[in-house]
Amino acid sequence: MKKVVVFTGAGISVESGLPTFRGSDGLWEGHRVEDVATPEAWLKDPELVQAFYNKRRADCLSARPNHAHLKLAELEKDYDIHIITQNIDDLHERAGSSKVLHLHGQITKSQSSINPSLVYDIEGAEIKRGEQCELGSQLRPHVVWFGEAVPNMEQAYKLAREAEVFVTIGTSLQVYPAANLIFETKPNCKLILIDPNAENYNVPPVVHKISEKASVGVDYLAELLAK
């Protein structure tokens, strides 16, 4: 089976009702997103950070996978599809994709604030003050904040190097090291980019751009893969 690696960002979940980070005014209740998604913010105001992610978790839980997530899951019938996602929602999994690598964590899980390898499922939508890991530290969201290492990056580079087709969907490619993945692919790898804003991307000319929203772009992708 042809190995197809699909790298997704916030844009793929827009049609499920979850906003992108850089599309709107970039603010959350008057705070820059970067100011609530850092270890410094957690040290300064853990209640604010927890409230931000509790709200986002509730939004994710009530969202449903859209046609783009579902189509990628369906394509597993014919291709060896691997998803690498920057998204912290679980819409790829709920759509039925079986190989999903999360680069920036998972909103449905918590982690110890002193040992990031201690990860737990969250019951419901909230992490509450006083909820602790087994070492006695306050639980925090299992997300990779700005300035933190990306533990799954090596695995993602390996997948990118093995890809016969590498597809990028709904990411502004502004956050590193994730945005480097496309440059790890081998020379004969077919590169496809789906984004309504694709024409404005500064990527190598060999990249096949599909200037569509994700739900439309995935049907073009299916046609390209079948050729």
Name residues contacting ligand APR, limited to 158-177 (CB under 6 A).
Answer: 170-172, 174-175
Of 10 and 95, CB closest to ligand APR: 10
DSSP-assigned letters across all residues of 135-194: TSPBEEEEEPPTTS--TTHHHHHHHHHH-SEEEEES--S-STTGGGGGGGS-TT-EEEEE
Catalytic-residue membership of 104:
yes
Are 185 and 162 a contacting pair, CB within 8 Å? no
Q: What angle do CA 116, 5, 220 make, to 5 degrees?
A: 135
CB of 121 to ligand APR, least distance (A): 21
x/- contact string, 142-161, with ligand APR (CB under 6 A)? --------------------
Residue 186 binds to ligand APR (criterion: CB under 6 A)? no
Residue 105 binds to ligand APR (criterion: CB under 6 A)? no
Tell me, by CB under 6 A, how many residues bind ligand APR.
23
**How far apart are the C-alpha atoms of 72 and 218, rounded to whole Å?**
7
CB of 177 to ligand APR, least distance (A): 11
Indicate which residue of 69, 82, 102, 104 is catalytic: 104
Catalytic residues: 104
